Amino acid sequence: MVADLKQCWKHAVVEDRLGANPWDTIVTRTRTTRASARTIELAADAEMVVAPEQVMELADRCASESWGEGVRCFILVMGLCGLRPNEAVGLLVGDVELPPTGHGWLTVRRTHRQVPMRFLDPEEDPSWGPLKGRDLTATRRVPIPSTIAAALRQHLAEFCADAAPTDLVFAHRGKPFDLGAFGTEVWQPARASMFPFIESLDKESPLQPKLARLRRHDLRHSACSMWLRAHVDVTVCQRWSGHKRLSVFLDIYQGLIPGRQEEGVKLLEDHLASVV
């Protein structure tokens, strides 16, 4: 809600309906979760990052649930292209660039949302909003690795054969994916089959495996981690991820940049060797 309110205020300033943006006068405080007092903008947890082959297996398991094959590529574009769940819901057929061979590109331009009309201008769509922290015209391009391009081509041929460029890539019973129903009917059963809880422990026990609580948003973290481990330039990773500032991207993902711990251990060993 805060992001939508900020967007409304920003738009009002541009349209000269407000003399100044009220957000500029607000002193923000760090919000924390009740359970662990962690900040909302958390650094990615390396233990909640899954490898590309695990993303593919999870996509297979989701496709075997009640919604069928139509969800396979939905998982893949989150886990290997770094889309947020609401961005993947809003992906359009015309946003997918897939040559006959090799890698392709996705243009990410909107997110799925449900905002009451009283908070929006009359011309704004309550179901579709801008990318996080961006204005309504902002887009970003993200590569489709060739390893999943074939699966996406098959998805478009099977589920979007007669679709217009403005039609959804992912739809269930003719409507955009309902992430709540998807979570209950597809995601949770597939996740439980792949990363089960330890039955002898309470589900809230800190001894439970972290991946048993894997979120769909963690697939995005897995994609960003994959880019970094492939040694893609960090500024390119930031552009693909959609973070407005490099500092924000680094705050979240610098702990996943490969080699940092090994370099730290070597520096520590060299220091001790020189003084002991």
Q: Rounded to whole angstroms, how far apart are CA atoms 227 and 240?
A: 9
Q: Are 82 and 241 in contact (CB under 8 A)?
A: yes
Residue length, the chain? 276
Structure-block tokens of residue 137: 């015209």
Summarize pLDDT for 143-196 with one digit per residue, the tens. 999 999 999 999 999 999 999 999 999 999 999 999 999 999 999 999 999 999
Helix, strand, or coil (residue 166): coil
- The pLDDT assigned to 202 comes to 94
Do 36 and 56 fall within a single domain? no
Summarize pLDDT for 105-156 with one digit per residue, the tens. 999 999 998 878 887 888 788 899 999 888 889 999 999 999 999 999 999 9
Question: What's the domain count of the chain?
Answer: 2
Is 16 inside any structural domain?
A: yes
Q: Does pLDDT of 85 surpass 80?
A: yes
Residues spanned by the domain of 75:
50-197+204-215
Q: Rounded to whole angstroms, how far apart are CA atoms 213 and 27?
A: 33
User: By CB neighbour count within 10 A (0-12 exposed, 13-18 middle, 19+ buried), where does 3 fall?
Assistant: middle
Do 100 and 141 fall within a single domain? yes
Summarize pLDDT for 10-46 with one digit per residue, the tens. 666 656 566 566 666 554 444 444 444 333 457 889 9
Q: Rounded to whole angstroms, how far apart are CA atoms 242 and 184?
A: 28
Is 56 inside any structural domain?
A: yes
End-to-end CA distance of the chain: 57
| Summary mean pLDDT of the chain | 88
Helices first, then strands: H and E counts in the chain: 11, 7
Do 87 and 208 fall within a single domain? yes
